Chain A
Amino acid sequence: MDLRDAEAERNMEPNHSECIYHMAVDIGGSLTKLVYFTKNNDHSDDESEAGVSCPVLKGRLNFKKFETSKIYDCLEFIKSMKLHLGGSQQQDGLERQITAIKATGGGAYKYADLFKERLGISLKKEDEMDCLVAGADFLLKVVRQEAFTYMDDQKQFVQIDQNDLHPYLLVNIGSGVGMYKVDGDGKFERVSGTSIGGGTFWGLGKLLTKCESFDDLLEQSSRGNNRAIDMLVGDIYGGMDYSKIGLSSTIIASSFGKVISDNKDLEDYKPEDIARSLLRMISNNIGQIAYLNALLFGLKRIFFAGFFIRSHPFTMDTLSAAVDFWSKGEAKAMFLKHEGFLGAMGAFMSSDKHGLQELLVKQQQNPNNMLCCD
């Protein structure tokens, strides 16, 4: 992306419009995601500890997460960054109270009053699915190395021709799982979903392991061994494969199935083993349902996104393995680098005053105009 692109710059002139939506929020059931724009010169890098920021139009897109249960941290952050006062974006340097920002996610309803009260900002609710798809579409088109596959600990970026992006299946794994068939800009349909998602992992995990946080649970799972909990094909067939139907002995026949025959209590099992079994159960299941839907709708690509993944290697590995297994190697699971921020990004995009649309046009004219991450 050529940051000095004249046209784009002109478009970003604050005078061009009175109010630039430079911030958007996605308030989910467990996480709140914030996307906000800062100018190049006015931003110290220490603020971008949230990880990813992209240089855009003489500025940066910043991505930040908070636990929804700690929504006050988020409000504090906005305050401290003066984002509700338009940050330091205004050229005249005057702080102007922003009256509304775009918001999505279930919490956009729930926390509307809080934002109003604390920050004086109304939340302009954008449809969650619209945001999700718009965010994914945008990121897949303009960010270089946004999509990647992950198999056997190997991350491999996939370059996607933006003219050959559609149709694809977008699997958003939040608390629950939504599956969307995306046919083009703004053209999509929720084709499926499952209630067994991130919330299930975290909810069941919390009940079973007493882990204090989602990340803790994820971390535990990477150290566990599910053989202690799951009934494997080998457990049933005396260590042998059930080759007649192509099941190898290490395939899970029944998640948590071994618990039935053990005469043990919950305390007798290692939390990390439980976390591992849970993660495999849920990832496998999502991978399977996603693949079946892609197959039914004739979709070549499946992108997985949502907070459940959190760039957690083992999660991505199991999802990929599930798709690989059920598709007999024909389909591949793909992931997005900004997986947690699709909704927030989409909300950001939902304003026509952010100037990013221009970027898409530019990029379409010259596919080399890709955004790069820091």
Chain B
Amino acid sequence: MASLAEDDQGQGASRIQNPEADDKKKKNSNMAPTSGNSIHRSSSRPQLDVSKAEIQGNFEEKHPTILLPNQSDDISHLALDLGGSLIKLVYFSRHENQSANDKRKKSMKERLGISNVNRRSYPILGGRLHFVKFETNKINECLDFIYSKQLHCGGLESHYSDNVADRNAIIKATGGGAYKFADLFKERLGVSIEKEDEMACLVSGANFLLKAIRHEAFTHMEGQKEFVQIDPNDLFPYLLVNIGSGVSMLKVDGDGKFERVSGTNVGGGTYWGLGRLLTKCKSFDELLELTQKGDNRAIDMLVGDIYGGMDYSKIGLSASTIASSFGKAISEKKELEDYRPEDISLSLLRMISYNIGQISYLNALRFGLKRIFFGGFFIRGHAYTMDTISFAVQFWSKGTAQAMFLRHEGFLGAFGAFMSYEKHGLDDLMVHQLVERFPMGAPYTGGKIHGPPLGDLNEKISWMEKFLQKGTEITAPVPMIPPGTTGLGGFEVPLSKGSTLRPDASALNVGVLHLVPTLEVFPLLADPKMYEPNTIDLSDHNELEYWFTILSEHLPDLVDKAVASEGGTDDAKRRGDAFARAFSAHLARLMEEPAAYGKLGLANLLEMREECLREFQFVDAYRSIKQRENEASLAVLPDLLMELDSMDEETRLLALIEGVLAANIFDWGSRACVDLYHQGTIIEIYRMSRNKMQRPWRVDNFDDFKERMLGTGDRKPTPHRRALLFVDNSGADVVLGMLPLARELLRRGTEVVLVANSLPALNDVTAIELPDIVAEAAKHCDILRRAAEAGDLLVDAMISPSNSSKESSTSVPLMVVENGCGSPCIDLRQVSSELAAAAKDADLIILEGMGRALHTNLNARFNCDALKLAMVKNQRLAEKLVKGKIYDCICKYEPAN
């Protein structure tokens, strides 16, 4: 997961070269070329070079890996949807599969028996999917963008080796402009456009996104957005309503299986066409914007207008129901000029949205389709449009059906075109292998990229600085008149919530999709489908505000630390400023529209901060602090171990758990604890903290845990086979808390796997740092040393094995695996394949610390024994989660079912 540290703009891709690919080249043997067998749908560029292809590994395997040593890495990089008003680009960039501790990983893989678990006929390549929009009338910007990124000739990697575009280069495209601009692309970029069927693209794009992205679909009622998690196995059949100029309704039965069942000629073109004639608006967005201040009562004939202000209750029509769109324009002696364009635009929008909703519902009903997804340019994330469509569906279905929308709605076609490449490698991609990131630009421009592509971080910061002024304006809420009860076409009024609903308030930001093929669902989750990592739901506005305040207050200190960690140079300061702005902008955006980036939980927010630091190349803001605390803690460890060893088994177990809880007080993520640090040395605080531990704790299942460990009376239970210890902070937390506990388990013959972050997050210890810490600790402890040797940890720590290595066979191993993430919390649906493999033999999980055991996973259930240990270092969290107070302790033990 080190790849996450790269900047999204793709400059990282120039470094390329997958070490595994190199390996394969070396290993290739002589297998007969099979080029004659390859089937191509078209002569498009991503031709497979199958010369010297070989099947790797076991031939009996169902999907053996086929090595294509001569196939260059230029997997299909770019696809386009050239629409009438917008050009949508989807492109893929490889990122290097770097692994800093490759050696350790390799030995881990061998130990855990991982061998190409994830391999497919076309292996999924790690990389990123980028989504970019341009206005069609600024097609030159689009061409420049493609050229500068060399997307038309296979991305940056070939840029340096071969600057001449392949004569036969082909780009897949869909949309009406695919014909219109074909010559332009040929002329400017020397590539041919290959036109893909629009509907087919739409459907394959929608299918992929709905299956691969956890929170792709959402409902939108009365200004409220709610994400709907769709089971990929229960997606079909559904109705896909694409609202472009006209409207197409497609019944989708499966991948590539769909039928156009209906449609209507009253669509986006009608809205924009009629709107233009009636209001003189110059753009679609301008027309849409007008609706915010409109009141359709001036134009539509309402039931109340006919029945003298009364409802027509017999058939359930209220007075505010629209009886006739534009019906009031009949009776009044008014000219076009006498009507407000705002009112006209709103009447039009409602008329068309309701109509589409109604016809869609009728068709869904007719074909027995449970779900209706709406997409297409007419929607544009416009809250009111979605509300009216939803309302129509709700109204006509009497609440039995719901309209759903897609976060990537504008990109379905482009994505489908991308999927039409024969070798896109995304076929079997699973939800858990995608991670969405929101690099800078997203909070300002709704996911769009304007202007020239950004070559490096420097350019990005410059762009941000320039953009900031404008961005602030855009982000600032525009006051507006509440829509009021403005009637409807056989429909009640969808209540738009609040008076600050902006036209783009619901514009969903689309991030960069990181493809991380090595991510897996943690195998020990009892019910992965029901699993929800977050315990704090930020859709509660008070909660949101609280955490935003916490993060905002912490920001200046974090920037100082980050800048200091980079030597405090001018460059670091500039980056620090940019980080602060970017993160504040994200916060402001989310404060205003919590669902802007998808479903928002506390874990997402905390992770975003880390991602944002990495975006501005702050590799590890707490590096020096971590180092200092590790050293100080390691210095006092021998004394602590001696003290522990003097206790009897039962006392020791309690002392160890107390120690874990006490040491968890050392946390730079907690304001309260940072203040404590000024009061004493590490060991003093640790001892004070441990002495204060008084059972019963707020949640106290210690006795159950003790019984499982030590048994009762004479009955001695079998020790656990393997324990996974999810560690938290550097310093005392891991050294004085978790290491002694690990040591105890090792002594009992339980294999121990320390699970740590792949990337830094606050002062959390990382998987890369752990071997050194263990090695240092092992100098004074035989148990740890032998276990570490057995787990090959000392090799990684660059410490030559001691002469007593012969004994190592007698110890169970102590291992370290990375968890696959770079956040203070952990989402167990997306963990490293290493961890997943390590989990297979585990029968005990210990989650330690607030991030992993409280903010997330407190309620998670596992298929094995699980112990959750944490000190609650936040008053509000204590109240919220355990009805307790700050510094309360949690010792939650849940035996396997």
Contact A129 to B84, CB < 8 A, known contacts A29-B330, A207-B329, A281-B270: no
Docked CA distance A293–B325 (Å): 21
The docked-state distance in angstroms from the alpha carbon of A199 to that of B244 is 26
Q: A200-B325, A244-B197, A257-B273 are in contact. Are A110 and B308 (CB under 8 A)?
A: yes
Residue of A nearest to B277 (CB): A266
Nearest CB of B to A220, in Å: 16
CB contacts under 8 Å to B, within A14-31, are 29-30
- A156-194 at interface with B (beta carbon < 8 Å): 174-176, 190, 192-194
Mask, A304-324, CB within 8 Å of B = 1, is 000000000000000000000
- Shortest C-beta distance, B124 to chain A (Å), equals 31
A106 CA / B327 CA spacing, docked (Å): 14
Contact in complex: A203, B269 (CB < 8 Å): no
Say whether A176 contacts B301, CB under 8 Å: yes
Binds A, one of B97-105, B226-234, B258-266, B570-578: B258-266
* Bound Cα distance from A214 to B324, whole angstroms: 15
Q: Could you tell me if A203 and B324 are in contact, using CB atoms closer than 8 angstroms?
A: yes
Residue B396 lies at the interface, judged by CB distance under 8 Å to chain A = yes
A285: contacting residue among B245, B264, B301, B308, CB under 8 A: B264
Among B176, B266, B328, B488, find the residue whose CB has the most chain A CB atoms closer than 10 A. Answer: B266
A72 at the interface (CB under 8 A from B): no
Indicate if the CB atoms of A200 and B326 lie closer than 8 Å: yes
Q: In the complex, A206 Cα to B330 Cα: how many Å?
A: 7
Instruction: Give the residues in chain A near B308, CB-CB below 8 Å.
Output: 106, 109-110
Which of A5-13, A80-88, A248-256, A341-349 sits within the interface? A248-256
Q: Is B326's CB under 8 angstroms from A254's CB?
A: no
Say whether B336 faces chain A, with CB atoms less than 8 Å apart. yes
Name A30's contact: one of B330, B335, B359, B366 (CB within 8 Å): B330
Indicate whether B355 reaches chain A with its CB closer than 8 angstroms: yes
CA distance A281 to B269 in the complex (A): 12
A259 and B489 contact, CB distance less than 8 A: no
Pair B362/A260 contact, Cβ less than 8 Å: no
Establish whether residues A257 and B270, one from each chain, have CB atoms under 8 Å apart when the complex forms. yes
Q: With A and B bound together, what is the CA distance between A149 and B267 in angstroms?
A: 29
Interface string of A281-303 (1 = CB under 8 A from B): 10011001100110110000000
Residues in B neighbouring A289, C-beta threshold 8 A: 358-359, 362
Instruction: Please report the C-alpha to C-alpha distance between residue A31 and residue B533 in the assembled complex, in whole angstroms.
Output: 63
CB distance from B298 to the nearest CB of A (A): 11
Q: Mark A199-234, 1 if CB is under 8 A from B, else 0.
A: 110111011101000100000000000000111000
A259-B276 contact given A129-B314, A195-B324, CB 8 Å threshold: yes
Question: Inside 8 A of A214's CB, which chain B residues have their CB?
Answer: 330
A373 within 8 A of B: no
Across-interface contacts of A284 in B (CB, < 8 A): 265
Judge whether B893 is part of the interface by a CB distance below 8 angstroms. no
Q: A365 on the interface (CB 8 Å rule)?
A: no
Complexed CA–CA distance, A238 and B331 (Å): 42
> What is the number of residues of chain A that contact chain B, defined by CB distance less than 8 Å?
64
Contact across chains for A203 and B245 when beta carbons are under 8 A apart: no
Nearest chain A CB to B363 CB, angstrom units? 7
Q: Answer yes or no: B190 CB below 8 A from chain A CBs.
A: no
Please, which residues of chain A bring their CB within 8 A of the CB of B244?
254
Contacts of B608 in A (CB 8 A): none
> What's the A-B contact tally at a CB cutoff of 8 Å?
201
Q: Is A261 interfacial (CB 8 A cutoff)? A: yes
Question: 1/0 per residue B247-284: CB within 8 Å of A?
Answer: 00000000000001010111111101110111010000
Dominant SS among interface residues on chain A = helix
- Contact A203–B355 (Cβ < 8 Å): no
CB of A289, distance to nearest CB on chain B (Å)? 6
Query: A135 on the interface (CB 8 Å rule)?
Result: no
In contact, B366 and A176 (Cβ under 8 angstroms)? no
For residue B306, CB closer than 8 A to chain A, the reply is yes
CA distance A174 to B327 in the complex (A): 10
Given A253-B246, A255-B270: A204 and B331 interface contact (C-beta under 8 Å): no
Q: Determine whether A361 belongs to the interface, using a CB cutoff of 8 Å to chain B.
A: no
Chain A residues whose C-beta falls within 8 Å of the C-beta of B335 in the assembled complex = 210
Closest chain-B Cβ to A241's Cβ sits at a distance in Å of 13
Contact A194 B490 (CB under 8 A): yes
Cα distance A207–B326 in the bound complex, in angstroms: 9
Q: Say yes or no: B328 contacts A245, CB within 8 Å.
A: no
B301 contacts across to A, CB distance below 8 A: 29, 175-176, 199, 203
- Chain A residues with CB under 8 Å of B208's CB are none
A203 x B327 contact (CB < 8 A): yes
**Are A190 and B315 touching (Cβ within 8 A)?**
yes
Confirm or deny: A65 has a beta carbon within 8 angstroms of a beta carbon on chain B: no
In this assembly, does B826 line the interface, its C-beta being within 8 Å of a C-beta of chain A? Answer: no
* Complex CA–CA separation, A203 to B302 (angstroms): 13
Q: Give B299-354 interface residues, CB cut-off 8 Å to A.
A: 299-301, 305-308, 310, 314-315, 322-331, 335-336, 339, 344, 351, 354
Q: Residue on A with the closest CB to B247?
A: A254
Asked if B327 contacts A253 (CB within 8 A), the reply is no
**B179 at the A interface (CB under 8 A):** yes
Distance between Cα atoms of A87 and B327 in the complex (Å): 36
Contact B268 A175 (CB under 8 A): no
Contact present for A261 and B330 (CB under 8 Å): no
Distance A257 CA – B246 CA, assembled complex (angstroms): 8
Residues in A with CB closer than 8 Å to B270 are: 254-257, 281
CA distance A207 to B279 in the complex (A): 11
Compute how far the CA of A203 lies from the CA of B336 in the bound complex, rounded to whole angstroms. 10
Q: Are A203 and B266 in contact (CB under 8 A)?
A: no
Cβ–Cβ contact A296 & B362, under 8 A: yes
- B 277-300 to A, binary, CB cutoff 8 A, 1 in contact else 0: 110100000000000000000011
In the assembled complex, the CB of A31 is this many whole angstroms from the nearest CB of chain B, namely 11
How near does chain B come to A318, taking the closest CB pair, in angstroms? Answer: 12
What residues of B have a CB within 8 angstroms of the CB of A197 in the complex?
Answer: 324-325, 327
Expressed in whole angstroms, the Cα–Cα distance for A110 and B325 within the complex equals 21
A54 within 8 Å of B (CB atoms): no
**Is A258 positioned at the interface, with any CB of B under 8 Å from its CB?**
yes
B442 CB within 8 Å of chain A = no
Bound-state Cα–Cα, A214 to B179, Å: 42
> Among B245, B260, B269, B363, which residue has its beta carbon within 8 angstroms of that of A292?
B363
Give A194 to B331 CA distance when docked, in angstroms.
20
For the complex, is A236 an interface residue (Cβ under 8 Å from B)?
yes
Q: In residues 24-67 of chain A, which contact B (Cβ within 8 Å)?
A: 29-30
Is A127's CB within 8 Å of the partner chain B?
Answer: yes
For residue B178, give the distance in angstroms from its CB to the closest CB of chain A: 11
A69 contacts B by Cβ under 8 Å: yes
- Cβ of A198 within 8 Å of any chain B Cβ, yes or no, is yes
* Residue B844, interface by CB 8 Å: no
- Do the beta carbons of A293 and B197 come within 8 Å of each other? no
- Give the complex CA separation of A69 and B278 in angstroms: 25
A175 near B330 (CB under 8 angstroms)? yes
User: What is the bound-complex CA distance between A296 and B368, given in angstroms?
Assistant: 11
Query: In the complex, what residues of B have CB within 8 A of residue A260's CB?
Result: 84, 245, 269, 272-273, 276
In the bound assembly, the distance between CA atoms of A196 and B344 in angstroms comes to: 15
Verify if B199 is at the interface (C-beta below 8 Å from A).
Answer: yes
A77 CB-CB contact with B under 8 Å: no
- Give the chain B neighbours of A253 by CB distance below 8 A: 245-246, 265, 269
Distance between Cα atoms of A266 and B488 in the complex (Å)? 27
> Which B residues lie within 8 Å of A296 (CB)?
362, 365-366
- Chain B's nearest CB lies how many Å from the CB of A176? 4
Besides A202-B330, A207-B278, 12 other CB < 8 A contacts?
A109-B310, A192-B396, A195-B300, A196-B489, A203-B328, A207-B336, A252-B265, A255-B273, A257-B273, A269-B277, A281-B265, A285-B265
- The residues of B with any CB-CB pair to A shorter than 8 Å are 84, 176, 179, 197, 199, 244-246, 260, 262, 264-270, 272-274, 276-278, 280, 299-301, 305-308, 310, 314-315, 322-331, 335-336, 339, 344, 351, 354-355, 358-359, 362-363, 365-366, 396, 488-490
For this complex, 26 residue pairs linking A to B, each with C-beta atoms less than 8 Å apart, are A175-B324, A190-B315, A194-B489, A195-B300, A195-B323, A196-B489, A197-B327, A199-B301, A199-B323, A203-B330, A206-B330, A207-B326, A207-B329, A207-B339, A208-B336, A230-B265, A231-B269, A236-B176, A246-B260, A254-B268, A257-B265, A257-B267, A257-B273, A261-B84, A281-B265, A285-B265
